[in-house]
A and B are shown apart, each in its own frame.
Chain A
């Protein structure tokens, strides 16, 4: 080691330059890798429904203006449901007002005690579901039971003219926030303007992701209310054999047009909906990967350039070493060790830089603290990179014949 260090002392500027470049690359690459992991973890959130078996469709009637009277609307819905059930590959159909990661949602305040507005949980996502919604979406209950036929009501999210249903299924995280450490089954929650309507918990869904993830509604704090039909923002959800999803989505507009032609119909395969929700995140991950690739390539090329220069400059010295007994192996090892030393210097500075950069990012963006165990990953990447980059020039150095020592340049 010692001869390497004393040799490097003659090239302070270049050593500092390479170490600095390694340090910066290390700081940025480590943080970029952490950002990628952060995004990937976010994108792999489970929805709590049968992702791969769902197709959904939303319709917008074009003869708007005169609000369709209730009976004819109910008739259209019944005909729609029948038409959708008749499509080949469809196992069941239900109506809902929102889907996990579907974007639009409705949220409300729930009260712990009747008429007591001071004790409440706000921003609770309301999923409305028509009969068969749980089975169609594939929501599994960790406790309790599905709704019974008599529990379905005419409740709606807006313009509430009917009281809320008397039964509700809540998510586990809702239950934990509402009644920490207690059994939620059979407990009442109160809805309505004055918190006057009691609704009893009949089941707990282990997990059901929110339609949108944000700081107000959180990730999965929601409840499912049983309704006969969904009026506001309604969508039909179809449970479909996975291989029939695309064909069902294509067949839906035709089938619904036959019931009522004057409307806009948009059918989606649910996995596309999820993909669309994370579109921005996916683009960011790709961008970060490209940046990491470019950075590592550049740094490697820089190391190759400088090492080649050193090898060329020291050709005579190498020749002398070879002449007095050093093997090719020794020369190779010398350059590899020299590179390892410089890269290590850069990594030490770079690790400190990485932690600093992470703190700065946490301050300016919503980002988690990078665990210190991430630092060795960046270090390992750069050590490998350095050794690979120097290999070419080092092999060239090892190939210098001892006879060079006796030649005058």
Chain B
């Protein structure tokens, strides 16, 4: 029976080519717009570390002064001063903990007569790599003792290793950065989580790139006066050279907490710390916060408003496209009342007529889906040529490919419901009489 409906549907679609083309085009445009924006939305709201994002937390305290403070209504800022970050690090209350800031440094080439170049880097502490599952190609992290001693050791990214050493195992060798020698202790495999979740609000970009090029101990960076990328001071600074003591916040802290009990304990610990600091007069505000990775991304609005707006717009657009298709299908099917009357008189059941029209709608949907896929590729091509940071990441993947057809079929079947129902409600007798 299905084959017969298919045949009937194709004949009917061929009979009125303009109307058919219009329906297909309308659905395809709507689907193309939806798939394009959904792909971007999914790309931006993805979980960069799905295996442990629920165990990673970002504690915050508030060192800001009294000015503008309304108890219970102000949120703690996203970064903290050195003193507080060090306290949390040394307390070792979490399974793992790391302090993070972004930096950049001038790297001297290994060969003569090449120019030095600047690379992005991370100032952090030994647990960073274990905390974020950063994979090593050679070697490993530095030790907590290196952190304390400000040792001149460094972990470099795979692409930097490729550039400097042609990809060979460079552990133990020395690179010169900002005119100081660093001993390489580890080389990472390609690692560039999107978004760069560990450094939101620390300056620099959130999306794109091959990842940071180098990682070095925080204390070493401070000793060598490598400034962070972003710095907010909440009081006037007398000595900018002494960042560790300056009333400025510039560090992010990450902790790994294995279960609910540990999370509750850590919240308590953090709140107590803030209250102590208020009692000592260092803090004026005792608000603290601790979001997990996914909530932190949401809080930092890694999905730009414009992207959500575009997605909303696209779905509104699809709705109008579906409505349009309903209207056109309805017009088509009402015009065929006589044909339906004849089929019914010859013994076709209401169900059979309904099925026939739904098959017709589904064909429109599938063709619309294929064309829509084309439009989506075109849309994503456009997005890739936009100035946004995430632009280069916008690609259609297999799941979105399948999703396109699900949306197309669903949209066309929904659009086909009303016309098909109207068609099967046609009473055969009056239609036959009229001719």
Contact = CB atoms under 8 A, between A and B. Distances in A.
Interface of A: 13-14, 17-18, 20-21, 24-25, 28, 32, 35, 60, 62, 64-66, 109, 117-118, 120, 122, 158-160, 192-194, 264, 276, 279-280, 283-284, 287-288, 291, 294-295, 298-299, 301-302, 305-306, 308-309, 312-313, 361, 364-366
Interface stretch (B132-140, B232-240, B356-364): B232-240
A158 B328 CA distance: 68
B388 A280 contact: yes
6 closest A-B pairs by CB: A65-B179, A193-B236, A309-B331, A159-B240, A302-B324, A279-B387
Q: Is the interface of B mostly helix, strand, loop or mixed?
A: helix
Given A120-B67, A302-B26, 17 more contacts: A17-B326, A21-B323, A24-B323, A28-B317, A32-B313, A117-B67, A118-B66, A122-B67, A122-B68, A159-B237, A193-B238, A194-B236, A280-B387, A280-B388, A291-B33, A309-B332, A366-B305
A298 B310 contact: no
Contacts, number: 119
Interface string B134-167: 0000000000000000000000000000000000
B8 interface: no
B331 A64 contact: no
Contacts of A20: 323
Given A298-B324, A365-B305, A291 B387 contact: no
Contacts of B178: 64-65
A378 to B, nearest CB: 14
B323 A306 contact: no
Given A279-B387, A301-B22, A118 B67 contact: yes
A118 B319 CA distance: 55
Given A28-B316, A65-B178, A122-B67, A13 B324 contact: no
21 contacts: A14-B330, A17-B327, A17-B330, A24-B316, A24-B323, A28-B320, A32-B313, A64-B179, A159-B241, A160-B238, A280-B387, A280-B388, A283-B387, A294-B29, A299-B320, A302-B324, A305-B19, A305-B328, A309-B331, A309-B334, A366-B305
Contacts of A62: 106, 115-116
Given A24-B319, A64-B106, A309-B335, A302 B313 contact: no
Contacts of A66: 179
B418 to A, nearest CB: 7
Interface in B369-398: 386-388
B313 A291 contact: yes
B319 A158 contact: no
A60 B115 CA distance: 14
A283 B387 CA distance: 9
Contact of B327 (A118, A120, A294, A306): A306
Given A306-B328, A365-B305, A312 B319 contact: no
Contacts of B179: 64-66
B112 interface: no
A120 to B, nearest CB: 6
B26 to A, nearest CB: 6
Interface of B: 19, 22, 26, 29, 33, 65-68, 106, 115-116, 118, 178-180, 235-241, 305-306, 308-310, 313, 316-317, 319-321, 323-324, 326-328, 330-332, 334-335, 386-388, 418, 422
A298 B106 contact: no
A76 to B, nearest CB: 18
B335 A298 contact: no
Nearest to B305: A365
Contacts of A192: 236
A20 B320 CA distance: 9
A215 to B, nearest CB: 13
Contacts of B321: 298
Of the listed residues A24, A159, A301, the one surrounded by the most CB atoms of chain B closer than 10 A to its CB is A301
A385 to B, nearest CB: 13
Contacts of B305: 365-366
Of the listed residues B240, B323, B335, the one surrounded by the most CB atoms of chain A closer than 10 A to its CB is B323
Contact of A301 (B180, B324, B326): B324
Contact of A158 (B29, B240, B386): B240
Contacts of B33: 291, 294
Contacts of B308: 364-365
B240 A28 contact: no
A257 B232 CA distance: 34
Given A64-B106, A280-B388, A312-B335, A365 B316 contact: no
Nearest to A159: B240
A353 to B, nearest CB: 10
B8 to A, nearest CB: 20
A102 to B, nearest CB: 16
Contacts of B65: 117
B306 A284 contact: yes
B174 to A, nearest CB: 16
A302 B322 CA distance: 11
Contacts of B240: 158-160
A118 B26 CA distance: 62
A298 B236 contact: no
Contacts of B22: 301, 305
